[in-house]
């Protein structure tokens, strides 16, 4: 038995090495010097919010019971950990109120820089929000008599760590959008700090805020030199709320943008200590050709194209849909001028009446919700306290605008959940580069040039169970964070694109590839082009220089060796919201899932399948067609393992090798155990046969055959990987616009459909801090999955006999013959039918 055990251990060691190698190859993002894993943070986790000190380059990260300071200029330095936990008596009081042990901690949700070289820090503090002051240079919390100096955080920080929340600092004053009570049922947009008489908030009315989920806030400061009207500074809050204006059978969520003015101090009699300038409008991210709307806002990134002109501000919104069952993500961009234009338009009437016709109230003067400017000050309205009651009453009853801020999606992805968004501009402003974080620890880079979008790269940074919840841009780099880790990656410049194909796809961003052999220092690199892209599709011409047979809209046909009866999901990456169509053999059995195509393989369905998507033309005229994917289905016999073996997915292959070896080791141990216990079993059998009482029990006893001994391979597959004995497999591809993109271009593997269930990660500004994740994926040919027939067990046994040699097979047969001689094993014990789990 010793040589056999040695062989098994060797196979186990080989499989572990394969897994480690495949993992290293998969996480080919930043180097080890640019990664900070959980082992670097002294056990601190649950990072929820980031604050970057752009002067010193110090990154402050709010976590559970601590603040961590990381020097982004030198990540090799040990991070500074500032502890701020909850006393035991506070924890007991929190749990006595019905909260869990996990909730009764201090989750840091607010980090904002003050003008006096301090940082304002607020945490949930066991469902009793508190705020403190952190020194930017001393990296310590201010104390009084050995205790942390604290002040109440109610209205400044949420009570619960998973509540949606956002805040912004404007002129040293904190503005927040958060819940203001223990139960989380009261919502306020408020001026939370400053003089007591200046702390104002929204009206407690569902017309103002109706169960909102706050996402982001932005402060737009006017430039006196470019603003001749002397207009006031403004704050914009982005959130999703339940629509009051729609009467439907279910709650309809709508994305909103709300605006308030910085100098607003409330009214004299009406709207005392309430906003007198609060206005909100609906954001519409809609694909008009299909009529699809994306009504749930998940993140907003504010970008100012011209740093000296606030009017060039744009808001990139990340959306999903309330009505879609599958994962869906869309990106729309809204300009500041369009938002202000809607705020200056007509008001929506929300009065309840039985009449069919409503005469709208005349709009009084000065206009309700208008910020103070030079003209109003000349009329005597130096403050909101001097506004007439009729103006304030109209403002109180008409917070919603009639028109909506509308935009078409720049990007649409199905089957992907994006959690965070950051945007960088190309040199010269020719286009933009979207950096999208996923719930599986990846960064996707998408080029936006005009109305066309191109998926450039999908870079895995973290393990799949770590969703990205923060992206901070600093000096051409992106600081990407999860609840447990931090990474630093390049975010700007053509050097982002590591291969000729990816660089060619970024041609619209002003990048070009310098091939090797020119003798210059930039051989084999992607750099800025001397001249910008000309008219038409320059990407196609750039791809031809890469000696690639594939162009932007001419993908190579990929041959798939399949077996009859197999179900495939052929992917077609749809980046733009325009529709995709498939051409395929006429006699086929298919079903299209949005842009992907499900195919049941038969003799008639063999042939070529081509996916063609529509995109904008070069002159924004009629859309043009672009081929995104092409496949050729070829029969490879009843077992499609050849396609799996040649697919190159070493990670999943190594997992199955490991499972096979584990099953093999278990079977060997069981065989060794039975062979050692055989004399004892013989004595027990004789003793039981001499007893009539024991003979009566044999008819109801279980079969001596072990449930796991039918096949040594059966333990390698979990019940969730079987669906009624049929494998639903798919060909997974990470391509963008039908072509490769560097080291992460393609993965042409037959894989099964995976079911994903995840909760939104926490980012401190609108997302939960902690969540659970479930992922299932498998690589199995269809004829190996049916556990009811027992064929898999026999095939697995034959494979094991071949691999171990004739000695093990003869030993097993000899053991079975000897055991069959005992009357104990001849009793008519019925065998229960092996039924496959339906889980």
More confident residue, 60 or 289: 60
More confident residue, 585 or 771: 585
Give residue 601's pLDDT: 85
Per-residue pLDDT band at 21 (split at 50, 70, 90)? very low
Q: Is the pLDDT of residue 9 over 80?
A: no
Q: Is the pLDDT of residue 692 over 60?
A: no
More confident residue, 464 or 14: 464
Q: Average pLDDT in the 187-203 region?
A: 94
Q: Is the pLDDT of residue 708 over 70?
A: no
Total Cβ atoms within 10 A of residue 719: 11
Integer Cα distance of 432 and 221 in angstroms: 24
What is the DSSP code string of 64-106?
A: BSEEEEEETT-TTSPPEEEE----HHHHHHHHHTT--TTTSS-
Q: Is the pLDDT of residue 690 over 60?
A: no
Give residue 837's pLDDT: 25
Site of tokens 């992106």: 478
Dihedral sign for Cα atoms in the order 21, 25, 31, 33: negative
Name the residue ranges covered by the structural domains of the chain.
34-157, 162-353+362-409
Give residue 423's pLDDT: 96
Highest mean pLDDT among 694-703, 704-713, 756-765: 756-765
Per-residue pLDDT band at 208 (split at 50, 70, 90)? very high
More confident residue, 247 or 171: 171
Q: Are 563 and 639 in contact (CB under 8 A)?
A: yes
pLDDT in tens, 44-54: 999 999 999 99
Per-residue pLDDT band at 6 (split at 50, 70, 90)? very low
Give residue 463's pLDDT: 94
Q: Is the pLDDT of residue 824 over 60?
A: no
DSSP 3-state helix, strand, coil percentages of the chain (rounded to 5)?
25, 30, 45
Q: Is the pLDDT of residue 557 over 90?
A: no
Q: Is the pLDDT of residue 660 over 90?
A: no
pLDDT in tens, 565-602: 888 888 887 677 777 888 888 766 777 766 778 888 88
Mean pLDDT of the residues in the chain: 76
Residue 176 burial (10 A CB sphere; 0-12, 13-18, 19+): buried
Give residue 229's pLDDT: 77
Lowest mean pLDDT among 56-60, 63-67, 194-198, 540-544: 540-544
Q: Is the pLDDT of residue 786 over 50?
A: no
pLDDT in tens, 724-765: 333 333 444 334 443 334 444 333 333 333 334 343 444 444
More confident residue, 539 or 327: 327
Per-residue pLDDT band at 650 (split at 50, 70, 90)? low
**Residue 175, token pair as written in the block:** 């503005």
Q: Is the pLDDT of residue 643 over 80?
A: no
Q: Average pLDDT in the 34-46 region?
A: 92
Total Cβ atoms within 10 A of residue 728: 18
Per-residue pLDDT band at 523 (split at 50, 70, 90)? low
pLDDT in tens, 68-117: 999 999 999 999 999 999 999 999 999 999 999 999 999 999 999 998 88
Is residue 366 reached through a cis peptide bond, with omega within 30 degrees of 0 on the bond before it? Answer: yes
The pLDDT > 70 percentage for the chain reads: 68
pLDDT in tens, 411-441: 988 889 999 999 999 877 778 999 999 999 9
Q: Is the pLDDT of residue 839 over 60?
A: no
Helix (H, G, I), strand (E, B) or coil at 619: coil
pLDDT in tens, 291-342: 889 999 999 999 999 888 898 999 999 999 998 877 889 999 999 999 999 9
Q: Is the pLDDT of residue 152 over 60?
A: yes
Dihedral sign for Cα atoms in the order 386, 389, 394, 396: positive
Give residue 75's pLDDT: 92
Q: Average pLDDT in the 270-279 region?
A: 96
Per-residue pLDDT band at 791 (split at 50, 70, 90)? very low
For 779-805, b/e burial (b = at least 16 CB within 10 A) is bbbbbbbbbeeeebbeebbeebeeebe
Give residue 737's pLDDT: 40
Rounded to 5°, the CA angle 450-455-459 comes to 140
Integer Cα distance of 595 and 612 in angstroms: 9
Q: Which residues contact 308 (CB under 8 A, 6 or more apart)?
A: 223, 226
What are φ and ψ of residue 132, in 5° steps?
A: -145, 180
Per-residue pLDDT band at 696 (split at 50, 70, 90)? very low
Q: Are 509 and 529 in contact (CB under 8 A)?
A: no
Per-residue pLDDT band at 652 (split at 50, 70, 90)? low
Give residue 351's pLDDT: 58
Give residue 579's pLDDT: 72
Work out the end-to-end distance of the chain between its first and last CA atoms, rounded to an integer number of angstroms. Answer: 38
pLDDT in tens, 136-146: 999 999 999 88
For 49-77, b/e burial (b = at least 16 CB within 10 A) is bbbbeeeeebbbbbbbbbbbbbebeebee
| Domain 162-353+362-409, CATH | 2.130.10.10
Q: Average pLDDT in the 345-360 region?
A: 68
Q: Average pLDDT in the 522-543 region?
A: 72
What are φ and ψ of residue 430, in 5° steps?
A: -70, -30
pTM value is 0.70
Provide the β-strand partners of residue 627: 612
Q: Average pLDDT in the 33-61 region?
A: 93
More confident residue, 613 or 13: 613
Q: Is the pLDDT of residue 356 over 70?
A: no
Give residue 242's pLDDT: 94
Alpha-carbon separation of residue 283 from 209, 240, 297, 411, 494 (angstroms):
15, 9, 9, 16, 33
For 546-560, b/e burial (b = at least 16 CB within 10 A) is bebebbbbebeeeeb
Q: Are 368 and 246 in contact (CB under 8 A)?
A: no
Q: Average pLDDT in the 487-509 region?
A: 89
Give residue 165's pLDDT: 93
* CA 792 to chain centroid: 38
Which ranges constitute the DSSP H helices of 622-707? 641-645, 650-676, 678-689, 692-698
* CA 332 to chain centroid: 17
More confident residue, 227 or 280: 280
Q: Is the pLDDT of residue 471 over 90?
A: yes
């Amino acid at each position: 038995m010793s040589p056999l055990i040695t062989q098994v251990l060797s196979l186990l060691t080989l499989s572990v090495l394969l897994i480690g190698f495949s993992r290293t190859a998969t996480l080919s993002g930043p180097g080890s010097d640019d990664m900070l894993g959980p082992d670097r943070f002294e056990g601190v986790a649950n990072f929820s919010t980031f604050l970057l000190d752009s002067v010193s380059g110090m990154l402050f990260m709010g976590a559970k019971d601590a603040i961590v300071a990381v020097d982004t200029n030198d990540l090799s330095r040990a991070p500074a950990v500032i502890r701020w936990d909850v006393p035991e008596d506070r924890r007991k009081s929190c749990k006595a109120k019905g909260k869990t042990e996990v909730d009764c901690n201090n989750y840091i949700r607010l980090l904002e820089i003050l003008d006096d070289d301090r940082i304002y820090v607020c945490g949930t503090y066991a469902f009793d929000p508190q705020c403190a002051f952190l020194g930017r240079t001393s990296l310590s919390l201010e104390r009084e008599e050995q205790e942390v100096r604290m002040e109440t955080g109610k209205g400044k920080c949420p009570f619960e760590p998973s509540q949606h929340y956002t805040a912004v600092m404007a002129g040293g004053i904190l503005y927040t959008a958060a819940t203001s009570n223990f139960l989380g049922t009261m919502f306020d947009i408020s001026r939370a700090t400053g003089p007591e008489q200046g702390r104002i908030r929204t009206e407690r009315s569902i017309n103002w805020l109706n169960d909102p989920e706050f996402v982001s806030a932005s402060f737009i400061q006017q430039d006196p030199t470019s603003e001749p009207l002397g207009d006031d500074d403004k704050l914009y809050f982005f959130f999703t709320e339940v629509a009051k204006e729609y009467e439907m059978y279910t709650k309809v969520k709508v994305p909103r943008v709300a605006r308030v003015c910085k100098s607003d101090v409330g009214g004299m009699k009406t709207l005392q200590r309430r906003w007198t300038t609060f206005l909100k409008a609906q954001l519409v991210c809609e694909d008009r050709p299909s009529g699809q709307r994306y009504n749930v806002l998940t993140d907003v990134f504010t970008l100012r194209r011209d740093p000296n002109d606030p009017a060039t501000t744009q808001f990139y919104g990340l959306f999903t849909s309330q009505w879609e069952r599958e994962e869906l993500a869309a990106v729309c961009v809204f300009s500041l001028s369009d938002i202000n234009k809607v705020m200056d338009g007509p008001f929506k009437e929300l009065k309840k009446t039985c009449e069919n016709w409503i005469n709208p109230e005349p709009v009084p003067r000065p206009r309700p919700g208008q910020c103070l400017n030079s003209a109003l000050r000349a009329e005597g309205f130096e403050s909101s306290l001097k506004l007439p009651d009729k103006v304030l009453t109209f403002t109180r009853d008409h917070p919603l605008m009639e028109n909506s801020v509308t935009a078409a999606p720049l990007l649409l992805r199905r089957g992907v959940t994006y959690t965070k968004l950051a945007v960088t501009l190309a040199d010269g402003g020719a286009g933009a580069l979207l950096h999208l974080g996923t719930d599986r620890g990846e960064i996707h880079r998408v080029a936006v040039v005009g109305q066309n979008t191109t998926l450039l790269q999908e870079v895995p940074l973290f393990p799949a169970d770590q969703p990205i919840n923060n992206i901070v841009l600093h000096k051409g780099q992106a600081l990407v964070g999860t609840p447990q880790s931090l990474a630093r990656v390049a975010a700007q410049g053509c050097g982002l694109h590591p291969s000729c194909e990816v660089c060619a796809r970024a041609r619209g961003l002003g990048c070009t590839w310098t091939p090797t052999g020119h003798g210059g220092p930039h051989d084999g690199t992607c750099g800025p082009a001397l001249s910008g892209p000309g008219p038409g599709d320059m990407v196609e011409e750039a791809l031809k220089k890469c000696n690639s047979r594939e162009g932007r809209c001419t993908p190579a046909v990929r041959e798939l060796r399949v077996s009859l009866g197999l179900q495939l999901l052929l992917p077609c990456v749809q980046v733009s919201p325009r529709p995709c169509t498939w051409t395929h053999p006429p006699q086929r059995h298919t079903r299209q899932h949005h842009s992907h195509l499900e195919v049941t393989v038969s003799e008639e369905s063999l042939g070529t399948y081509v996916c063609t998507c529509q995109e904008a033309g070069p002159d924004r005229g009629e859309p043009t067609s672009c081929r995104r994917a092409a496949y050729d289905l070829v029969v490879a016999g009843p077992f499609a393992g050849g396609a799996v073996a040649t697919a190159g997915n070493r990670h999943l292959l190594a997992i199955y090798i490991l499972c096979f070896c584990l099953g093999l080791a278990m079977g060997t141990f069981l065989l060794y155990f039975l062979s050692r216990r055989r004399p004892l079993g013989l004595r027990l059998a004789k003793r039981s046969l001499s007893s009539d009482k024991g003979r009566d029990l044999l008819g109801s006893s279980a079969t001596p055959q072990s449930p796991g001994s039918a096949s040594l391979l059966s333990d390698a597959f979990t019940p969730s990987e079987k669906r009624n004995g049929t494998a639903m497999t798919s060909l997974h591809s990470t391509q963008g616009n039908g072509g490769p993109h560097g080291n992460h271009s393609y993965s042409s593997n037959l894989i099964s459909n995976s079911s994903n269930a995840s909760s939104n990660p926490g980012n401190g500004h609108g997302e939960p801090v902690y969540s659970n994740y479930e992922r299932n994926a498998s690589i199995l040919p269809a004829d190996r999955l049916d556990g009811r027939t027992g064929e898999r067990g026999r095939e697995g046994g034959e494979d094991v006999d071949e691999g171990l040699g004739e000695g093990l097979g003869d030993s097993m047969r000899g053991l079975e013959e000897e055991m069959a001689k005992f009357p104990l094993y001849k009793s008519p014990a019925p065998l229960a039918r092996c039924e496959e789990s339906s889980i």
